[in-house]
C-alpha cells in the first residue's frame, strides 16, 4: 500500500521503499515548466570595468538553466548592454515601493525596466535585517514590480536564533504571507521564491540538503494553501546561502530545489558557471 508522508515522501509499506513524490512527478514530466533558475546577486561589489568583464564572461551561457544576474543599480545599463541578446538576463537588487516621486536614492520599476531589467529581488535579508525592511514594504514592492512587468524573486529566510528556537517555518510562513499579502493570484512564470537562511549567507555555512528540501517543500505547501496546488507546483523555489560549485549538485538534486541564488560565488565565472551547470546535471538526471 502506498502512503503519502509530509514533504512529498511516498512510502510503500510492503516493498519497504521510499521515493520522493516530487521526483516521481519530474519523471512523469509533470513539472517540466520548472526550468532551473540560477541567480547571481553581486551585492555591492566591483566597479564598472569589473561588471563589464564579469558580464562578458557569462555571455556564452547556453545551458538548461535560466540565468539572471543582479548587478549594483548603477551598473545595470552597462551590464545589460554588454549581455545584449544573449541568454543571460539582468535584474535589480531592490525596487522602490512607489512608482515615482521624491524618494531620494530609490530606483523605480520603470527605471529598472529602462535599464534592461526583467527581474528584481524583493526582501533580501540584507535589506530586511540590515536596513529594517518590513514584509509590508516587500508586499508593496512585489505589487510595483509585477504591475510594471518585472518578474519577482522574493527572498525569505530565518535567522539562526529563530531556527534554534524552532521558529524557522513560522518565520518563513509569516514572511511569505505578508510579503505576498496583496498578491491575489500566483503566476509561476512571474514570481520565484528564494529561501535564504540568514545564518547561511556569506558564512560558508550551508543548510544541509535535507533541511533545505524540508523548508522548500513547506514553502511549496504554503503557496499551494494560499493560491492553488497547480501554481505552487510550477513555482520555482531557489536556495541561497553559501552555494558553491562543491555543494550545488547536492542541493539542486533535491526535488523541491529549483535553482540557486548565489552571492559570493557569482562574482567569478569560474565558480558561477559550474553552479549553473550543476542545475543542468540535475535536469539531465531527473
Ligand atoms: P552567499 O552566496 O555569498 O552566501 O550569498 C547568498 C545571497 O545572499 C544571495 O542573495
**Residues involved in catalysis:** 124, 196
67, 83, 90: which is closest to 273 by C-alpha? 67
Mean pLDDT of the chain: 90
What is the reported pLDDT for 88? 98
Counting from 1 in the atom list of ligand 1, the atom nearest the Cα of 203 is 4
- Cβ(200)–Cβ(242) under 8 Å? yes
Alpha-carbon distances of 112 from 64, 96, 106, 119, 123, rounded to whole Å: 26, 10, 11, 9, 16
State CA 282 to chain mean position distance. Answer: 17
198 lines ligand 1 (CB under 6 A): no
Mutate which of 195, 196, 204, 206 for ligand 1 pocket (most atoms within 8 A of beta carbon): 196
- Taking the centre of ligand 1 as the mean of its atom positions, its distance from the CA of residue 134, in whole angstroms, is 20
What is the reported pLDDT for 179? 98
Cα(232)–Cα(188) distance, integer angstroms: 7
Counting from 1 in the atom list of ligand 1, the atom nearest the Cα of 265 is 2
What is the reported pLDDT for 281? 75
- Taking the centre of ligand 1 as the mean of its atom positions, its distance from the CA of residue 259, in whole angstroms, is 13
262 lines ligand 1 (CB under 6 A): yes
Give backbone dihedrals phi and psi of 152, rounded to 5 degrees, phi first: -120, 135
247 lines ligand 1 (CB under 6 A): no
Cα(6)–Cα(221) distance, integer angstroms: 10
Q: Which residues pair with 10 in a beta bridge?
A: 4, 19
What is the reported pLDDT for 255? 95
202 lines ligand 1 (CB under 6 A): yes
* SS3 labels along the chain: CEEECHHHEEEECCCCEEEEHHHHHHHCCCCCCCCCEEEEECCCCCCHHHHHHHHHHHCCCCCCCEEEEECCHHHHHHHHHHHCCCCCEEEECCCCCCCCCCCCCCCCHHHHHHCCEEEEEECCHHHHCCCCCCHHHHHHHHHHHHHHCCEEEEEECCCHHHHHCCCHHHHHHHHHHHHCCCCCCCCCCCEEEEECCHHHCCCCCCCCHHHHHHHHHHHHHHHHHHCCHHHHHHCCEEEECCCCHHHHHHHHCCCCCCEEEECHHHHCHHHHHHHHHHHHHHHHHC
What is the reported pLDDT for 234? 97
Counting from 1 in the atom list of ligand 1, the atom nearest the Cα of 266 is 2
> Rounded to the nearest 10 degrees, how much is the dihedral formed by the CA atoms of 233, 247, 196, 113?
-70
* Residue 5 neighbours by CB distance under 10 Å: 10
Return averaged pLDDT per consecutive 10 residues of the chain, 286 residues in all: 40 40 38 86 98 98 97 98 97 98 98 98 97 98 98 97 96 98 97 97 92 97 98 98 96 96 98 95 63
Q: Where are the domains of the chain?
A: 1-28, 31-285
206 lines ligand 1 (CB under 6 A): no
Counting from 1 in the atom list of ligand 1, the atom nearest the Cα of 70 is 10
Cα(232)–Cα(218) distance, integer angstroms: 11
What is the reported pLDDT for 285? 59
Which CATH superfamily groups domain 31-285? Aldolase class I (3.20.20.70)
- Cβ(187)–Cβ(231) under 8 Å? yes
246, 253, 205, 240: which is closest to 39 by C-alpha? 240
Mutate which of 243, 244, 272 for ligand 1 pocket (most atoms within 8 A of beta carbon): 243
Angle among Cα 128, 129, 133 to the nearest 5 degrees reads 30
Q: Which residue has the cell 555555512?
A: 205
Q: Is the pTM of this model over 0.85?
A: yes
Counting from 1 in the atom list of ligand 1, the atom nearest the Cα of 194 is 10
197 lines ligand 1 (CB under 6 A): no
263 lines ligand 1 (CB under 6 A): yes
What is the reported pLDDT for 209? 95
- Taking the centre of ligand 1 as the mean of its atom positions, its distance from the CA of residue 177, in whole angstroms, is 23
Cα(238)–Cα(259) distance, integer angstroms: 5
- Taking the centre of ligand 1 as the mean of its atom positions, its distance from the CA of residue 277, in whole angstroms, is 18
What is the reported pLDDT for 280? 80
- Taking the centre of ligand 1 as the mean of its atom positions, its distance from the CA of residue 174, in whole angstroms, is 22
Amino acid at each position: 500500500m502506498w502512503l503519502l508522508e509530509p514533504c512529498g515522501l511516498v512510502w510503500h509499506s510492503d516493498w519497504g521503499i521510499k521515493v520522493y513524490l516530487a521526483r516521481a512527478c519530474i519523471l512523469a514530466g509533470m513539472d517540466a515548466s520548472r526550468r532551473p533558475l540560477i541567480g547571481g546577486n553581486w551585492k555591492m561589489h566591483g566597479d564598472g570595468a569589473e561588471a563589464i568583464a564579469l558580464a562578458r564572461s557569462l555571455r556564452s551561457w547556453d545551458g538548461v538553466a535560466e540565468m539572471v544576474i543582479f548587478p549594483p543599480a548603477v551598473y545595470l545599463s552597462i551590464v545589460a548592454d554588454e549581455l545584449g541578446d544573449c541568454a543571460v538576463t539582468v535584474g535589480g537588487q531592490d525596487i522602490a515601493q512607489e512608482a515615482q516621486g521624491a524618494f531620494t536614492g530609490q530606483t523605480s520599476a520603470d527605471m529598472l525596466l529602462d535599464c534592461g531589467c526583467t527581474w528584481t529581488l524583493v526582501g533580501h535579508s540584507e535589506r530586511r535585517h540590515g536596513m529594517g525592511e518590513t514584509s509590508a514594504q516587500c508586499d508593496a514592492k512585489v505589487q510595483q514590480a509585477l504591475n510594471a512587468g518585472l518578474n519577482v524573486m522574493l527572498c525569505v529566510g530565518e535567522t539562526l536564533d529563530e531556527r534554534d528556537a524552532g521558529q524557522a517555518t513560522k518565520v518563513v510562513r509569516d514572511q511569505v504571507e505578508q510579503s505576498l499579502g496583496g498578491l491575489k493570484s500566483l503566476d509561476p512564470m512571474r514570481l520565484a521564491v528564494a529561501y535564504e537562511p540568514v545564518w547561511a549567507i556569506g558564512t560558508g555555512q550551508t543548510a544541509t540538503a535535507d533541511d533545505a528540501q524540508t523548508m522548500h517543500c513547506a514553502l511549496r505547501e504554503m503557496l499551494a494553501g494560499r493560491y492553488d496546488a497547480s501554481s505552487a507546483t510550477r513555482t520555482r523555489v531557489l536556495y541561497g546561502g553559501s552555494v558553491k560549485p562543491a555543494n550545488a549538485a547536492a542541493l539542486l538534486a533535491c526535488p523541491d530545489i529549483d535553482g540557486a541564488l548565489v552571492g559570493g560565488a557569482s562574482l567569478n565565472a569560474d565558480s558561477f558557471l559550474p553552479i549553473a551547470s550543476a542545475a543542468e546535471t540535475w535536469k539531465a538526471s531527473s
